[in-house]
Structure 1
Amino acid sequence: MSLKSFAAKIFAKTVRKKIQAWSSKPVEVQEKIFNELISKAKDTSFGKDHHFDHIKTHADFVEKVPIRDYEDLRAYVDKMVAGEEDILWPGKPLYYAKTSGTTSGAKYIPITKESMPTHIEAARNAILCYIAETGKAKFVNGKMIFLQGSPELTEKNGVKLGRLSGIVAHYVPGYLQKNRMPSWETNCIDDWETKVDAIVEETRDLNMTVISGIPSWVQMYFEKLEHKTGKKIGDIFKNFELFIYGGVNYEPYRSKFENLIGRKVDSIELYPASEGFFAFQDSQRKKGMLLQLNSGIFYEFIKAESFFDENPKRLTIAEVELGVNYVMIISTTAGLWAYNVGDTIQFTSLKPYRVMVSGRIKHYISAFGEHVIAKEVEEAMQVASEKTGARINEFTVAPQVNPVAGELPYHEWFIEFEKAPENLTNFRNILDQSLQQQNSYYFDLIEGNILQPVKITKVPKEGFQAYMKSIGKLGGQNKLPRLSNDRKIADALEAIIKK
């Protein structure tokens, strides 16, 4: 065992004990963070506008601070971006994580000196928990690749800005600098396809042991490697043993990845966002990711089914239940207050609190009152793939409200197959049955002849990449919505298919 592996194991055990200490008293930890947030921000513009000096309890907070999304908070953020201090949080931010919103144009999410370390520590702790639980640490001696956005930053009124993954690249610990790939120069390439080609050339002959990124874009990297070498990824990288991912559910990709790699590898799921690092998979044996209750974030949860009510009930961590679909609301040391991240989550464990991402509150299908969510279509796809041996590159689902004359409406699944099922009708039936079993509203609509079973439209190879490229979102941290309540993506895919 190398000295580096030995040291990693000792450090991992120490860190896991600290995690167990705070995760064993979640309510107390969250109460402490709540009080610290209110105290530190009471003299900011936001704190004064919302009478933070009179907030003593969660009930006070609910009364004085309404739920907001980025647009609702924009007036404050615009002042910060213009150079003003003490607006949402004391002083100025360290960075702005620039993201592209679908309705808001560019978003500038503040990252402060208090919030920045949590982004780094959570990712580190995910790896250390894996080492502590499995005893595997050999991979720390090999090369590690992180497929991410460019680390080049610009500046706005004295504050640096860039993509979150690019900002985080500046904080890679010194002991990993020699191990990390790609090179700084390659990481700065803007065009995603050119960048991946360069990464292939840089890494194909190296001892890669850890690979990290959003599954769809790592898949692109793997396919280019396979095309270039004619080998399985596991044969190119014989010591590759850990895949770290976030952003989307890995399960629909798992069989395709195992085929590309040629064997199974362990994986760790992360839940990072520009607004905060919310959770990471702390165990290979337990379902879900450990919610980061001690990372300067105060969480509230609203049942998704009542989110659009006039005054939905805002729950604290002490009030949540297993298996319920919640919209997650956060208040943070970056100055986001009662902020709707847009994600829906479900708790898989309450001791400790572990979550899984079930979808986006705006990404669902309810054209007929069925309210189908991402988790349900992903699970249906997983079941159908496992039962038929199909492998999926990518997919998305949309309602067809106006079918040809005489037909009932239906859900249309646009699927790019790596390996199509031998019997597409059987595959379709399994998809539909799985969806009916998970969603009683959908079952009732099928049974009542309001909807007909799903239909499948095959997307040609690289069709989804062509779509993402057409909207300027190829690569990086960009993700394809699993489902939509309209035909915007579906219509664009149909145009690509016709070409």
Structure 2
Amino acid sequence: MSIKALAAKLFASKIYHQTQTWAQKPVETQEKIFQKLIKNAKETSFGKDHHFNKIKNVEDFQQNVPVRDYEDLKPYIEKVIKGEADILWKGKPLYFAKTSGTTSGAKFIPLTKESMPYHIEAARNAILHYVHETGNADFVDGKMIFLQGSPILTEKYGIKFGRLSGIVAHFVPKYLQKNRMPSWETNCIEDWETKVDAIVDETIKENMSVISGIPAWVQMYFERLQQKSGGKKIGDIFKNFKLFIYGGVNYEPYRAKFENMIGRKVDSIELFPASEGFFAYQSRNFGIKNEEGMLLLLNSGIFYEFIKADEFFEENPKVLTIGEVEIGVNYVLIISTNAGLWRYNIGDTVQFTSLLPHRVIVSGRIKHYISAFGEHVIANEVENAMEEAVASTNIVINEFTVAPQINPANGLPYHEWLIEFENEPENMEIFAETIDNSMRRQNIYYDDLITGNVLRKVVVTKVSKNGFQDYMKSQGKLGGQNKIPRLSNNRDIADNLIKSDNI
């Protein structure tokens, strides 16, 4: 064992025990975070507007500060962008992370000197928990690649602007810089396809041990590697490839395709990062499907609140704190952070799988659902149904999305599943039936609609090879942190796929 690997094990043990300290005291930990946030923002414009000097507890906070989305917070953010200080948080942020909002267009999320370290520490600690749990540390001697956006930043009024993944690239620890790939020059390439080809050229002969990124774009990297190598398995190209790190989407729909491309199983770590904060990471059971969920980071400068998803659009929904949540309930995640986001709705929904420690799965997006007929189908349900159908037929899929068809040319309305198959099922009717049965078991409202002849069973539409990549390219969202929504309550994506001859 190398000195670096031994040091990683020792450090991992320290971090593990530090984590246990706060994870076993969730309410107390969150109360400390809350009080610290209020104290530090009392003299900001936002703090003065919302009477932070009079806030003593969470109840006061909830009465003085409404739940907001980006558009509601935008007037404050625009002041910060123009160079004003002490608006949402003391001073000015170090960075603005630009994101491609699904409902608000481009969004600019502040990152402060207080919040930025938590993004880096959380990613580090996820890997250290893996080391502590498995005892595997040899991968630290190999090369590591993080498929991410360009690190090129712009600057205005002393604040730097860029993609979160590009900003994070500036914070790679010195002890990892020799291991990290691709090169800085390659990482700065803006065009995604050109960038992936350059990454392939740089890495194909290297000792890659860790690969990280959103599954859809890592899949593209793997496909280009196989083309370059004459069809070799990824596990043969990278014999010491041992760990895949991902976030942003559920890995399970991709797992079969990845294991086939790699030629063997590799351990994986699931992360829950966003520009607004690094919320959770998988901390155990790394070699299997992550049903247990991810450890919610309660000690990372973020105060969490939760609203039941089925009550969210009511006039005055009940808002819960960490000591009031239940297992298996779908909650909208509301955050207040040391970057100056206050009672901010990030749009994600979560379900708790454990309460001590608090572990979550990402169940979907509050605005990404299908409820054209009152069924309120969420991403977690369609992913479970797809996983079940794939497992029962041994097929492999590349990508999929689901949309309602309200006005079909013939027959009853239905949910249309647009799927890009690597290999198709022998019997498409049985495949669709498996999906439909799974959806009916998971969602009683959907089952009622089928039983009552309001909807007919799901319809599967085949998407051509690389159809989703072509669609994302046409939208200017190929690569990086961009991803296809699993489902939509409209047909914008579905109709675009059909119109562009990707069907």
**TM-score, scaled relative to structure 1:** 0.99
SS at match of 1:364: coil
Q: CA offsets, 1:271-313, max 9 Å, x none?
A: 0000000000011167100000000000000000000000111
Residue 443 of structure 2, aligned match among 439, 445, 458: 439
1:264 equivalent in alignment to 2:269: no
How far residue 498 of structure 1 moved from its aligned partner, in angstroms, is 6.0
CA distance in 2, matches of 1:387, 1:101: 36
CA distance in 2, matches of 1:415, 1:110: 36
Aligned to 2:282: 281
How far residue 227 of structure 1 moved from its aligned partner, in angstroms, is 1.3
What does 1:22-171 correspond to in 2, within 5 Å?
Answer: 22-171=22-171
Aligned to 1:4: 4
What does 1:369-388 correspond to in 2, within 5 Å?
Answer: 369-388=374-393
Structure 2, gaps ≥5 residues long: none
Give the aligned length: 498
CA distance in 1, matches of 2:409, 2:165: 45
On the 8 A contact 2:467/2:502 being kept in 1, the answer is no
SS at match of 1:347: strand
CA distance in 1, matches of 2:203, 2:13: 31
Q: CA offsets, 1:404-451, max 9 Å, x none?
A: 13x010000000001111111111100000010000000111111111
Q: CA offsets, 1:8-67, max 9 Å, x none?
A: 101100110000111010100000000010011011000000000111111111100000
Aligned to 1:401: 406
SS at match of 2:333: strand
SS at match of 1:264: coil
Aligned to 1:461: 465
What does 1:220-231 correspond to in 2, within 5 Å?
Answer: 220-229=220-229, 230-231=231-232
CA distance in 2, matches of 1:203, 1:188: 16
What does 1:278-317 correspond to in 2, within 5 Å?
Answer: 278-284=279-285, 287-317=292-322
On the 8 A contact 2:234/2:261 being kept in 1, the answer is yes
How far residue 95 of structure 1 moved from its aligned partner, in angstroms, is 0.5
SS at match of 2:306: strand
On the 8 A contact 2:257/2:397 being kept in 1, the answer is yes
Q: CA offsets, 1:210-248, max 9 Å, x none?
A: 000000000000011111112000000000010000000
Tell me: CA distance 1:103–1:377, structure 2 relative to 1, closer, same or farther (3 Å): closer
On the 8 A contact 2:464/2:502 being kept in 1, the answer is no
**TM-score, scaled relative to structure 2:** 0.98
AA in 2 matched with 1:490:
A
On the 8 A contact 2:282/2:295 being kept in 1, the answer is yes
Q: Kindly report the root-mean-square deviation, in angstroms, between the aligned alpha carbons of the 2 structures.
A: 0.9
AA in 1 matched with 2:434:
I
CA distance in 1, matches of 2:106, 2:450: 41
How far residue 496 of structure 1 moved from its aligned partner, in angstroms, is 2.3
SS at match of 2:401: strand
Structure 1, gaps ≥5 residues long: none
How far residue 103 of structure 1 moved from its aligned partner, in angstroms, is 3.7
How far residue 208 of structure 1 moved from its aligned partner, in angstroms, is 0.3
AA in 2 matched with 1:169:
A
CA distance in 1, matches of 2:310, 2:19: 32
Percent identity for Structure 1 against Structure 2? 72
Stretches of 4+ aligned residues off by more than 4 angstroms? none
Aligned to 1:249: 250
1:189 equivalent in alignment to 2:189: yes
CA distance in 2, matches of 1:170, 1:397: 37
How far residue 108 of structure 1 moved from its aligned partner, in angstroms, is 1.1
Aligned to 2:490: 486
Aligned to 1:21: 21
AA in 2 matched with 1:278:
F
Q: CA offsets, 1:159-202, max 9 Å, x none?
A: 01100000000000000000000000000000000000000000
Q: CA offsets, 1:346-371, max 9 Å, x none?
A: 00100100000000000000001100
Tell me: CA distance 1:93–1:451, structure 2 relative to 1, closer, same or farther (3 Å): same
